[in-house]
Chains A and B, each alone.
Chain A
């Protein structure tokens, strides 16, 4: 059995529709982590809510399955408490960009050393077919019967504008590209944002596997440190560029707060506290 494969009873019946992009992503993630020579004990996936967020249950990995939109702040707390863990925040496009939109923006500012994986299928799957922040204009759903009229959220452009440490986009149909991006993202010291296109075979009849194949291209000969070029690429499309769009070396949050060791090893500094009492006399 592979290193990150789970034999737990709750991992056997995978609750994704046949043909779901999540299956491919799961395989990619497992291979990525194993090829990085990581062990399940040292990795934590903090997931939000949705089909994407069920990922950790189908892996042998530490995990916290949290609330819709809240994976990022909880993951930030995990990394603060034990910087030695590899921390991944994972969820769908609604999770990360709608409910979790505020946290998405401010995590870029804060730059914790975590990897954010966004499964972007441009629809809300688990709640059965409403539009998501990335749904294309005009897409008709039961909740938006006249078609979506709100401008889609361009997470890549926002992340680049805010000078995020690492911004990349991929597609589950491009296995090697996605693996390479994920490896680079995990190794990057700072916030790594990886948006991965995947089809929702049940609720999104617009953005199918074929549609993604036709409307994406692999970015070549791009200097990811060129911010304005990166922004130009992010704002363009379809076709949408796949690859590392932007990279900036930035001091990560843990370096600012000067924490390297796990908090569970700490005890209160009673002698220091006694000295503080003296100041209040």
Chain B
């Protein structure tokens, strides 16, 4: 059993609240589900929808076709028309008289819990689960509000009873699992990685990470500061790393574009840095609240001049946690900028995930205590100079964005300029020791290789599974740079390579073609701010 439920309404009508309520109820009652948010860039009006997929098999692919639609506003049906099928159950005014219900409720704000009650009943879930969730979520608003919400929920539940739509999905024990949004997962990963500073400027869809960390700042002592602009945000994070902290800057494409010079400073000065870049469609303002995979090139090539970097792109909640934590160790170890490249689909979606294990996370520091002979840019065999921090030891730490000598002072000496440039580039070779390998799925004797990266993982994988073709395999990348040259073994074996990505120019395909000299590579692209669906991909591959 697999149901795609879509609830839609105007911005401000509480779609986000209903979605969250329902996911919590589903989880408590043992139903695996996840949500995907389709949001407009406005605070009131328009149409926002949430897509919740409930499945027995823990499926995480995005589904286009709607099984049940709950429209809270007349504009919704038209908005989702391309997703409706003849079998879609639409709970419109014919089935539930929303205008009458709104009048009967003490306050239209209770409509959210009313609908949660209705849907809870449709899914054959005992009311007690919803009651528990309402008590938990509205606890801080006081007993009175809690009771009114429970009353509204019960009314909705009773109405749901009358609809005679009983969906029975096999339940399992999800009590130990976690319900997290992508923002929360990245934020928790950063905490696990020892992040103690966040510099940011609000920008969708990256702000959630900063907001969550701000909520934890009192407890964890993490400093979260909103700066006057993106340049100050990244600069402060660089200053933090220089002086011994672990700084994060979180932003989106347009914000990161402002940060390029500072990125270049991190590269030249060999200061570690972790950048969370949550992608949304561009160019310029683009679609602020929608999803895209269009900033790979930006992350790859940003920053004038040349210096090594690492680009990680988590495929789901679990990776968002573990890779974000890992990013901090990598930055410290190799003294390079590390990108955590995500997107709106992952950031705003809510997913159920198996318990996250802190014993799979490690906290490794690489800075040193300096002595009086310390030179920050000492030439070493692998290009990585021991990193001192000011105030820790007898030494003096001099760090410089100008070309420099071993002590860090400016030099225009021809020989030193050559040596230092080579030293910085040589550092890049060490990065191959720590690469996140791509995930391979499928028959060993495949002929067609479907490649993907980032948050499309589960959607693509499900497509491949459903197509069930004996000669088709799936290769998914969670580290986009550097690429392991040994991966050519995957591409040499394939007669045809398809690269699925959500951008206009096939950025990852171009990179793969360049690095692995792949002759026959075809892009499967989507670039309208909406995520690929399983149905859509199946059609493209058919």
Using a CB–CB cutoff of 8 Å, the interface residues on chain A facing chain B are 8-11, 15, 40-42, 44, 46, 49, 54, 56-57, 60-67, 70, 73-82, 84-85, 102-103, 105-106, 257-259, 262-264, 266-270, 272-274, 276-277, 280-281
Q: How far is the CA of A60 from the CA of B229 in the complex (A)?
A: 33
Residues of A within 8 A of B232 (CB): 73, 76, 102-103, 106
Residues of A within 8 A of B265 (CB): 66-67, 70
- Chain B nearest Cβ from A246, distance in angstroms: 22
**Given A41-B391, A65-B401, A102-B232, A267 contacting B363 (CB threshold 8 A):** yes
Q: How far is the CA of A67 from the CA of B263 in the complex (A)?
A: 11
Residues of B within 8 A of A259 (CB): 221, 223
Encode B202-244 as 1/0 by CB contact (under 8 A) with A.
0000000000000010011101010111011101111111111
- Chain A nearest Cβ from B242, distance in angstroms: 6
- Chain A nearest Cβ from B420, distance in angstroms: 13
Residues of A within 8 A of B402 (CB): 65
Residues of A within 8 A of B229 (CB): 102
**Given A66-B235, A264-B392, A77 contacting B399 (CB threshold 8 A):** no
> A65 near B399 (CB under 8 angstroms)?
yes
Residues of B within 8 A of A15 (CB): 410
Contact partner of B391 (CB less than 8 A), chosen from A8, A10, A49, A62, is A62
> A78 near B220 (CB under 8 angstroms)?
no
Residues of B within 8 A of A84 (CB): 391
Give the size of the chain B interface in residues (CB under 8 angstroms). 71
Say whether chain B's binding surface is mostly helix, strand, loop, or mixed: mixed
> B175 near A281 (CB under 8 angstroms)?
yes
Residues of A within 8 A of B216 (CB): 276
- Chain B nearest Cβ from A22, distance in angstroms: 15
Residues of A within 8 A of B219 (CB): 272
> Is B188 part of the binding interface, using a Cβ–Cβ cutoff of 8 Å?
yes
- Chain A nearest Cβ from B379, distance in angstroms: 15
Encode B168-188 as 1/0 by CB contact (under 8 A) with A.
000000011111100010001
Q: How far is the CA of A79 from the CA of B448 in the complex (A)?
A: 55
> A263 near B244 (CB under 8 angstroms)?
yes
Chain B residue nearest to A68 (CB atoms) is B261
Q: How far is the CA of A85 from the CA of B240 in the complex (A)?
A: 12
Residue among A9, A15, A274 with the highest chain B CB neighbour number at 10 A: A9
> Is B3 part of the binding interface, using a Cβ–Cβ cutoff of 8 Å?
no
Chain B residue nearest to A77 (CB atoms) is B239
> B401 near A78 (CB under 8 angstroms)?
no
Q: Can you list 6 residue pairs at the A/B interface with Cβ under 8 Å?
A: A9-B409, A65-B400, A67-B235, A77-B235, A269-B191, A277-B178
Q: How far is the CA of A264 from the CA of B398 in the complex (A)?
A: 18
- Chain B nearest Cβ from A30, distance in angstroms: 14
**Given A44-B243, A268-B194, A10 contacting B411 (CB threshold 8 A):** yes
Residues of B within 8 A of A264 (CB): 243-245, 365, 367, 389, 392
> Is B470 part of the binding interface, using a Cβ–Cβ cutoff of 8 Å?
no
